Chain A
Amino acid sequence: MDPLLLIEQSLNGFQLGVMLFLMAAGLTLVFGVMDMINLAHGSFYMVGAYLTATFVGLFDSFLLAVVLAVPLAALVGVVVELVALRTLYGRDHLDQVLATFGLILFFNELVKIVWGPVPLRLTPPEFLAGQVELIPGAPYPAFRLAVIVVGIAVGAFLWYLIGRTRLGMLIRAGASNREMVTALGVDIARIFTAVFALGAGLAGLAGAMAGPILAVEVGMGEHILILTFVVIVIGGIGSVKGAFVGAVLVGMVDTFGRVLLPTTLKLFLDPSTADGVGASLASMAIYILMAAVLFFRPRGLFPAHG
C-alpha cells in the first residue's frame, strides 16, 4: 500500500476514534457509575452541533460558538438528568431504555421544530479551512487535524481528572463499587449530576466538531451512538481507558476496512464481486471485531467492576 495513503487513512481512522472517544468517555462513566443505560446521549451530540451552527450564524466565530455550545449542551444534560433520569437510577434497565428512547423522540422532534427538517451546513473556521502538509507530499485537512489535537487534549484532561483529583477518585470508586462511595458519606446524587454534565458536554463538543465534517441533521446522534455502544462494549463498561482503546480500535478498523477489504478481495475475486463483498464486509467489520472481543472477554478489554 502507498505509504502516503496509509498515513492519511491512519489519521482518518484516528480522527474517527477521537470523536468516538469523546462520546464514549462520558457515556461509559454514566453506565459504570450509575448502572444506567442512556440512549439519549446522541441527543446531546446533536444539540451540540445545532447550537454550534446557530452561534456560528450569530457571531461568525467558530471558536466562540463552540465555547458557548459545549456548556449549553452540558446544561441540557443536567436538566435532563434532574427532570427525567434521576428517578430512573436503580430501576429496571427496561424502564431506562424506554424512557431514554422517549427522550430521543422528544429531542428529534424538538430540533425539527426549532431548526426545521433541512440539514444545516457548518463550515470550519477560516484558519482551519485549508490543508496542512505534516509530511511533505501528504496534505491533510487542517480541521481534522485540529479534531485530533482537541481529542488528545480532552483525553489528557480526563486522565488528569479521573486519575488525579478527588472527584475523579470518587467517580472511579463509584464505577467499581457503588456502596463504598455512599459509605464514604459522599452525596452521590451530586456526583451523578456532575458525571452526567461532563458526559453531555463532551458529547456536545463531539457534535460541534462533527458539524463541519458530516452534516448537521436530525438523527445525526443515533448513528454515532450505536458506534459508541460498540466502543464501550469493547472497552469495558465504566473504563475511560477502555473507551479510548476501544474508540481508536473501532476508528481504525472501520476506516481501514473500507479501504483495504475491497482492494484485498480483488486479488481473489473478480472486481465487481470483490467490490460488493468488500463493501458488505467493511460495513460489518467493527461489529465482527466486537463479537470477537466479546467471545474471549465478555466484559470487554478493561472491565471496571471487580
Chain B
Amino acid sequence: MAGARRRKIALACLLGFLVLLPPVALAAGEPFYVSLFTRILITALAAASLNLILGFGGMVSFGHAAFVGIGGYVVGIAFVHASDGTLFLGLLPGTVSGFVVLPLAMIVAGLVALPIGAICLRTTGISFIMITLAFAQMLYYLMISLRRYNGQDGIAVWQRSELPWPIDLDDRMSFYYVALAVLLAFLYGTHRMVNSRFGRVLRAAKDNERRVRALGFHAYRYKLAAFVIAGAAAGLSGALLVNSTGFVGPSYLEWHRSGDLIVMVVLGGVGTLFGPVLGAGALMLLEEFIPELLNGLADGLGEHWKIFLGPILILIVLYARRGLMGLVDGSLGGSLLRRLRPEPPPGKPPRRRR
C-alpha cells in the first residue's frame, strides 16, 4: 500500500535524522540542540508509554505525569541521601549509581501504578479519566508535603547517575544516544507486545471489552498489566529527565504535564508506534520556538502562544484525528472527507420480522 511505503520512508528519514543529529549539531557549534533533543527523546518515552495504554488499550489516563514524577523523585531522593550521607527512612543509603536508580525508578513507579490502576480500572469512561487525574493530584500534593525533600521547591540534583564506561551522562553526546537507545528499545518492545497474545487481548478490549470477557479473558488483568508496564516506563522517563535537567520537583507531577502527554500522543497519532515520538517532538519544538516567532510578529505575543494552541487542539480533534502519522500516510485529506460524509446511524441492524 502507498501509505505503508510512505510511512517506511518517513520513518527511515526520522531515524536517520535522530542518529545524525548530535555530530552535526556539535560540528555546527550548536550543542543546545543536542540537549533539547535529548529532552525530546526522553519525553517521547513518556508519551510512548502513555500510548501503550491510551492508544492500544483505550485507557484515557489523565495522570500519567505522576509516574514520570515518581521515577524522577527516586533519582532525586537517592541523590539527596547520597550527598548528605543519611539513610532513607533510616534504612537505605543513597546512591547515584545508574545501575541502581534507573531500574529502581521503574520498579517504584510500577509499584505505585499497581494499586492506582487496580482501583481506577474498576471504572470506565469518564470516571476513569477523573480518578486517574485525582490520584495524580494526590501524589502531587504528597510531594509538596515532603519537607525533607524541599516540598514545593524540589531537589536540585547536581550529580548525574553513574553508568559504566563508555556511557557518561555528563557527556551530551553520550546521554543523547542513551536516550535514543532507551526510546527505540521501548518502541521495539511495544511493537512486540501489541502483536503478541497479550497485545491482542489488550487491543480487542479497547474495541469491545464485554466481548473479550465473553471469550474467556479476565480483561481487567490485562489492562492492569499494561497500566503497570506503562507506569514503569514513565518512571524510567522521569529518571532520565531528572538527569537531563538536574532538577526534580512537584511540577513534574502537575496535571498540565499529564495533559501535555495526552496532547503529544494525539497530535502524533493515537495507537501508532512512532506517533508519540512525532507528537512529543512537535509540541516541544513549538514550545521552544513559537514564542520567539510570535514575538517577531508583535511584541509580547509570544508569551501568550497557548491562546493559539488551545483552539488548534480543538481543530485537531475535529478534523485530524489521525495526527501527524495521518499526514505521513497521506490520508489526512481522506479522514477529513470521511468526517464530512454523513455516517449511518449506529445501532442494531434492521431486523427482519416474519
Instruction: Using CB atoms and an 8 Å cutoff, list the residues of chain A in contact with chain B.
Output: 31, 35-37, 84, 87-88, 91, 93-95, 97-99, 101-110, 112-113, 222, 226, 229-230, 232-233, 237, 276, 279-280, 282-284, 287-288, 290-291, 294-295, 298-300
Contacts of A103 in B (CB 8 A): 310, 314
Q: Can you offer 26 A-B residue contacts whose CB atoms are under 8 A?
A: A37-B129, A93-B126, A94-B54, A97-B129, A99-B313, A101-B313, A102-B312, A102-B317, A103-B310, A108-B306, A109-B304, A109-B307, A110-B307, A112-B304, A226-B133, A226-B134, A226-B255, A229-B134, A232-B130, A233-B123, A233-B131, A276-B145, A282-B145, A284-B138, A294-B123, A299-B127
Name which residue of chain B comes closest to A283, CB basis: B141
Tell me which of B1-9, B76-84, B262-270 binds A. B262-270
Which among A35, A37, A107, A280 is the interface contact of B145 at CB below 8 angstroms? A280
Q: Are B122 and A102 in contact (CB under 8 A)?
A: no
In the assembled complex, the Cα of A94 lies from the Cα of B323 at a distance in Å of 13
In the assembled complex, the Cα of A295 lies from the Cα of B270 at a distance in Å of 30
Q: Are B313 and A299 in contact (CB under 8 A)?
A: no
Instruction: Using CB atoms and an 8 Å cutoff, list the residues of chain B in contact with chain A.
Output: 54, 60, 62, 119, 122-123, 125-127, 129-131, 133-135, 137-138, 141-142, 144-148, 255, 259, 262-263, 266, 270, 304, 306-307, 309-314, 316-318, 321
Which among B126, B135, B321 is the interface contact of A287 at CB below 8 angstroms? B135
In the assembled complex, the Cα of A282 lies from the Cα of B144 at a distance in Å of 12
Within the complex, the shortest CB–CB distance from A29 to chain B, in Å, comes to 13
Name which residue of chain B comes closest to A30, CB basis: B126
Contacts of A288 in B (CB 8 A): 138
Contacts of A276 in B (CB 8 A): 145-148
In the assembled complex, the Cα of A290 lies from the Cα of B123 at a distance in Å of 13
Q: Are B307 and A113 in contact (CB under 8 A)?
A: yes
A233-B127, A279-B145, A279-B147 known; 18 new pairs, CB 8 Å cut-off, are: A36-B126, A87-B318, A98-B263, A101-B262, A102-B317, A222-B255, A226-B137, A226-B255, A229-B131, A233-B134, A280-B145, A283-B141, A287-B135, A290-B134, A294-B122, A294-B123, A295-B119, A299-B123
Q: Are B304 and A294 in contact (CB under 8 A)?
A: no
Contacts of B147 in A (CB 8 A): 276, 279
Q: Are B306 and A93 in contact (CB under 8 A)?
A: no
Contacts of B309 in A (CB 8 A): 102, 105
In the assembled complex, the Cα of A287 lies from the Cα of B129 at a distance in Å of 15
Supposing A97-B262, A101-B262 touch, asked if A106 and B146 sit within 8 A by C-beta, the answer is no
In the assembled complex, the Cα of A300 lies from the Cα of B309 at a distance in Å of 35
Within the complex, the shortest CB–CB distance from B218 to chain A, in Å, comes to 16
In the assembled complex, the Cα of A95 lies from the Cα of B314 at a distance in Å of 8
Supposing A93-B60, A94-B60, A283-B141 touch, asked if A106 and B126 sit within 8 A by C-beta, the answer is no
Q: Are A35 and B126 in contact (CB under 8 A)?
A: yes
Contacts of B255 in A (CB 8 A): 222, 226
Supposing A37-B126, A237-B126 touch, asked if A280 and B310 sit within 8 A by C-beta, the answer is no
Q: Are B262 and A98 in contact (CB under 8 A)?
A: yes
Contacts of A113 in B (CB 8 A): 304, 307
Name which residue of chain B comes closest to A223, CB basis: B137
Name which residue of chain B comes closest to A32, CB basis: B126
Which among B134, B137, B141, B314 is the interface contact of A84 at CB below 8 angstroms? B314
Contacts of A36 in B (CB 8 A): 126
Q: Are B306 and A109 in contact (CB under 8 A)?
A: yes
Within the complex, the shortest CB–CB distance from A61 to chain B, in Å, comes to 32
Supposing A101-B313, A232-B130, A298-B123 touch, asked if A94 and B266 sit within 8 A by C-beta, the answer is yes
Contacts of A294 in B (CB 8 A): 119, 122-123, 131
In the assembled complex, the Cα of A230 lies from the Cα of B316 at a distance in Å of 29
Contacts of A105 in B (CB 8 A): 306-307, 309-310, 313
Interface of A is mostly: helix
In the assembled complex, the Cα of A36 lies from the Cα of B126 at a distance in Å of 7
In the assembled complex, the Cα of A99 lies from the Cα of B317 at a distance in Å of 6
Contacts of A279 in B (CB 8 A): 145, 147
Name which residue of chain B comes closest to A294, CB basis: B119
Contacts of A107 in B (CB 8 A): 310
Supposing A102-B309, A104-B310 touch, asked if A93 and B134 sit within 8 A by C-beta, the answer is no
Q: Are A98 and B130 in contact (CB under 8 A)?
A: no
Q: Are A284 and B142 in contact (CB under 8 A)?
A: yes
Name which residue of chain B comes closest to A285, CB basis: B138
Within the complex, the shortest CB–CB distance from B205 to chain A, in Å, comes to 16
Q: Are A93 and B125 in contact (CB under 8 A)?
A: yes
In the assembled complex, the Cα of A94 lies from the Cα of B263 at a distance in Å of 10
Within the complex, the shortest CB–CB distance from B302 to chain A, in Å, comes to 12
In the assembled complex, the Cα of A288 lies from the Cα of B116 at a distance in Å of 11
In the assembled complex, the Cα of A99 lies from the Cα of B255 at a distance in Å of 16
Supposing A93-B129, A94-B270, A98-B263 touch, asked if A287 and B313 sit within 8 A by C-beta, the answer is no
Name which residue of chain A comes closest to B305, CB basis: A109
Supposing A280-B146, A283-B141, A290-B131 touch, asked if A102 and B126 sit within 8 A by C-beta, the answer is no
In the assembled complex, the Cα of A237 lies from the Cα of B128 at a distance in Å of 12
Name which residue of chain A comes closest to B62, CB basis: A97
Within the complex, the shortest CB–CB distance from A296 to chain B, in Å, comes to 10
Contacts of B130 in A (CB 8 A): 37, 229-230, 232-233
In the assembled complex, the Cα of A87 lies from the Cα of B321 at a distance in Å of 14
Which among A112, A226, A283 is the interface contact of B142 at CB below 8 angstroms? A283
Among A35, A288, A294: residue with most chain B CB under 10 A: A294
In the assembled complex, the Cα of A303 lies from the Cα of B126 at a distance in Å of 13
Supposing A94-B60, A101-B262, A109-B304 touch, asked if A287 and B54 sit within 8 A by C-beta, the answer is no
In the assembled complex, the Cα of A147 lies from the Cα of B217 at a distance in Å of 51
Among A84, A94, A103, A112: residue with most chain B CB under 10 A: A94
In the assembled complex, the Cα of A276 lies from the Cα of B146 at a distance in Å of 7
Contacts of A108 in B (CB 8 A): 306
In the assembled complex, the Cα of A167 lies from the Cα of B250 at a distance in Å of 45
Supposing A93-B125, A93-B126, A102-B313 touch, asked if A229 and B133 sit within 8 A by C-beta, the answer is yes
